[in-house]
Amino acid sequence: MWEYKIIDSANAGKTGFFRGRTVEQAEAYLNALGEEGWEIIDIDFQMDPTMPGGPTHFHGIAKRAKS
């Protein structure tokens, strides 16, 4: 059995994760999810082309084995 998590930077105001962060900050967040056992199975990044390296907006789905 799996459990799933929706990852959406648009929820930053409500849940405190990324909206307009750098690529490095996004990577740190995704690595933290990995340490919690989450595996990203689908993700869509949208980057601001006027600012190399960020800001980054994304949404996707992660899964991990249900305990």
Q: CB neighbours (10 Å) of residue 11?
A: 14
Residue 13, pLDDT score: 45
Give me the residues of the chain with pLDDT under 50, please: 12-16
8-state DSSP, 29: H
Give residue for tokens 């990044």.
45
Query: What is the value of pTM for the model shown?
Result: 0.67
Residue 58, pLDDT score: 81
Residues 60 and 3: their CA atoms lie apart, in Å, by: 14
Residue 15, pLDDT score: 47
- 38 three-state secondary structure: coil
Give residue for tokens 């933290």.
32
Asked if 18 and 29 count as a contact pair (C-beta separation under 8 A), the reply is yes
